[in-house]
Amino acid sequence: MNNYSRYEINNSDPLEKKRYIRSMFDSIVPTYDLLNRILSLGIDNLWRRDLVKIAGLKNKIVLDLCCGTGDLTRQIIKSNGKVISLDFSFNMLKKGKDRGWLTGENLSADACALPFKNSVFDFLTIAFGIRNIPDIDIFLAESLRVLKPDGKLLILELTRPDNILVRFFYNLYLGKILPFIGGIISGKDEAYSYLAGSISTFLEREMLIQRIKNSGFTEVSYKKKTFGIATIYICKK
């Protein structure tokens, strides 16, 4: 069995999967931001910027989940949002603070057990994090709980393109190029095989939307980015 299937989203042991994922992210921190830029040719930041623009986060109270080193957090701060950042990897948070990207309040916790009271945030954001969460229904229930009554959950996630030709080249990229470049630069082959696998085995767009609706969100809209390689989901409480 390869790493792709071993750590797919329906893993029956969420705690074990989370331990694996946390230590994996802890281990790839030194080259994480550099590789993001190389592997996405810088497009990932345009997607983050778009999410912030779509939402209009100015003066809103935002919780940035799975914040990593703070690539999205810093965009929210630039747009004058008031943000708290959360991630369960200490190394990611430390790197973000050292880089000056996580300048506000930040904490280490599991996105499925949020240490906040009910109905406190205008927005929750999560960029490239949800596909790493095995107990997704618990995550969605927690998100609903901490959002204000008219609050929104904004998800930016990698998705699979619809066009067959684009999909063919994208699969080639995921299967061969991403693990190769990621492995060489980070020295962590398994981590980048996992990341590629987590993209190709994560829920299809429509299935994720159904899960979000089933969890109690009243409205879900979405915007495809770059041939559908990424999607921004806007989920209203």
Ligand X SMILES: C[S@@+](CC[C@H](N)C(=O)[O-])C[C@H]1O[C@@H](n2cnc3c(N)ncnc32)[C@H](O)[C@@H]1O
Instruction: Provide, rounded to whole angstroms, the least separation between the CB of residue 110 and ligand X.
Output: 4
* Burial category of 42 from C-beta neighbours within 10 Å (exposed 0-12, middle 13-18, buried 19 and up): exposed
Non-local CB neighbours of 227 within 8 Å, separated by 6+ positions: 161, 163, 166, 170
Q: How many residues does this entry show for the chain?
A: 237
Give 165 or 201: the residue with its C-beta nearer to ligand X.
201
Tell me the number of residues near ligand X by CB under 6 A.
21
Least Å distance between CB 45 and ligand X? 9
Pick the stretch among 107-115, 145-153, 164-172, 208-216 that binds ligand X (CB under 6 A): 107-115
Task: Report the nearest approach of ligand X to the CB of residue 72 (Å).
Answer: 5
Residue 193 as a binder of ligand X (CB under 6 A): the answer is no
User: Hey, which residues between 1 and 40 contact ligand X (CB under 6 A)?
Assistant: 18, 21-22, 25
Q: Scanning residues 194 to 233, which ones bind ligand X (CB under 6 A)?
A: none
Q: From CA 223, how far away is CA 231, in angstroms rounded?
A: 6
> Are residues 32 and 68 in contact, defined by beta-carbon separation less than 8 angstroms?
yes
Output the smallest distance, CB 213 to ligand X, in A.
22
Q: Measured from the CB atom, is 87 or 122 closer to ligand X?
A: 87
Contacts with ligand X in 37-96 (CB under 6 A)? 66-68, 71-72, 87-89, 92
Residue nearest to ligand X (CB): 68
State which of residues 129, 151, 161, 197 lies at the interface with ligand X (CB under 6 A): 129
Q: Nearer Cβ to ligand X, position 162 or 189? A: 189
Interface residue with ligand X among 77, 111, 114, 191 (CB under 6 A) is 111
**What is the Cα 93 distance to its own chain's centre?**
15
Q: Which of 4, 128, 202, 217 binds ligand X (CB under 6 A)?
A: 128
Which positions touch ligand X (CB under 6 A)? 18, 21-22, 25, 66-68, 71-72, 87-89, 92, 110-112, 127-129, 132-133
